[in-house]
Amino acid sequence: MSTADYKDRQFLAVIGDEDSVTGLLLAGIGHVTAPPDSQKNFLVVDNKTDNATIEAAFERFTTQRKDIGIVLINQHIADRIRHRVDTYTQAFPTILEIPSKDHPYDPEKDSVLRRVRRLFGE
Amino acid sequence: MSGAADREAVFATRQSLALMKAKLKGAETGHSLLKRKSEALTKRFREITRRIDEAKRKMGRVMSIAAFSLAEVTYAVGGDINYQVQESARSARFRIRAKQENVSGVLLPAFESYVVEGSNDFAMTGLGKGGQQVAKCRETYARAVEALVELASLQTAFVILDEVIKVVNRRVNAIEHVIIPRTENTIKYINSELDELDREEFYRLKKVAGKKQRDTAEADAEMKQKKDMQAKQDQENEAPAEDISGPTDLLAADEDEDVIF
């Protein structure tokens, strides 16, 4: 891991339902890159969004963009692309599963917490 | 012998024995150092996992409070602000910065959040009504995001430490179960081989000494025989001369010739 690899990572990215994204944007994490290919660092997912779109966004935030340090993803959305989230093992950017308004947080599903539990032999 | 099972391909010489001994010592030092490193990392790791567990629970609470404040905003503004917010996001106000922490030679990154002053994409949000709620909601979410950033850095440290501990443990085990036994076997092998050489050498020397002794004995015997013969001959030669000259006066006799053997 080179120094430059994470020094440039200064944004957070969100994949979430409308309310989570709105709230996080209000906190001021929203960022749109310069006009030619104005890329947003957030994706609003609702029932009509198909999994391919979510996966594409996940892919874009984790591998293509080099300026994102943390990817926040709603847990129920992470469940939809669970295989991708579970097989993601890199340190940067960090994937963080967050609860949403309609879906309470379940620590059993979280890929990192599951590892924590496994290590403690619970 | 067991040394033949698993050892390094070396010639059994004193030099390679010294080399192997140095290697064994190095391996033992390295093993104890790595073991200590692994223990330090594991300690850190356990601490981090515990904090992750706590932070995740805290995050659940913080996020629900934040979601509630957003609901308040929706109520106060009297309509959805989602679309407006999403469209007016331009430049991140809330950013993160990565710094490093050194734990036993492992660089653990940690995120730190900071706020870029002076940029506000949502100046118009809640302008009509509910501005106070919007401001409150922003603060709540900002605090939530701070908690999330902290959790994210813990999680990153977790992933990296997990990886590093695996590598270190693998090395410790490799040294303990492969390198040290093999070096010990090699030393044993060299020692036994050197002993063997010593015995061989000793036996050879003994053999040579025995042969030498035998040769000397033989030579002595031959010499003695020769001497005896000579003496006998001398006596035979002397005897007739005595007969001719008759008994001589021993005292008046000429000086005897020196006998040289």
CATH number of the structural domain spanning residue A31: 3.40.50.10580
Amino acid A30: pLDDT: 80
For A96, the domain range is: 11-120
Any domain includes B27 = yes
Q: Is residue A51 part of a domain?
A: yes
pLDDT in tens, B175-208: 999 999 999 999 999 999 999 999 999 999 999 9
Number of residues in chain A: 122
CB A69 within 8 A of CB B111: yes
Check CB contact under 8 Å for A28 and B148: no
Distance between CA atoms of residues B77 and A101, nearest Å: 19
Q: Is residue A4 included in any domain, yes or no?
A: no
Alpha-carbon span B193 to A40, nearest angstrom: 73
Residues in B closer than 8 angstroms to A111, CB to CB, are none
At residue A2, the pLDDT reads 44
Q: Is residue A23 in a domain?
A: yes
Residue A20 lies in a domain: yes
CA B254 vs. chain centroid, Å, equals 95
State which residues form the domain around B152: 14-193
Q: Which residues of B touch A67 (CB under 8 A)?
A: none
Domain count, chain B: 1
Say whether pLDDT at B1 is over 50. Answer: no
CATH of the domain at B121: 1.10.287.3240
Res B116: pLDDT: 78
Residue A3 belongs to a domain: no
The reply to whether B1 falls in a domain is no
Give the sheet arrangement for strand A11-16, strand by strand. Answer: A42-44, A11-16, A68-74, A94-98
Q: Which residues of A touch B87 (CB under 8 A)?
A: none
Total domains in chain A come to 1
Q: In this structure, what are the phi and psi dihedrals at residue A11, rounded to the nearest 5 degrees?
A: -115, 160
In a domain, B172, yes or no: yes
On whether residue B65 sits in a domain, the answer given is: yes
Contact B31, B180 (CB under 8 A): yes
Assigned domain for A99 exists: yes
Which of A22-26, A102-106, B144-148 bottoms out in mean pLDDT, i.e. has the lowest?
A102-106
Beta strands (DSSP E) in chain B are: 94-103, 106-115
pTM (2 decimals)? 0.70
Residue in chain A closest to B93 (alpha carbons) equals A28
Q: Give the three-state DSSP class for A97.
A: strand
> pLDDT tens, B106-148?
888 888 888 877 666 666 666 667 777 888 888 888 888 888 8
Q: Give CA–CA dist B139/A99, Å, rounded.
A: 18
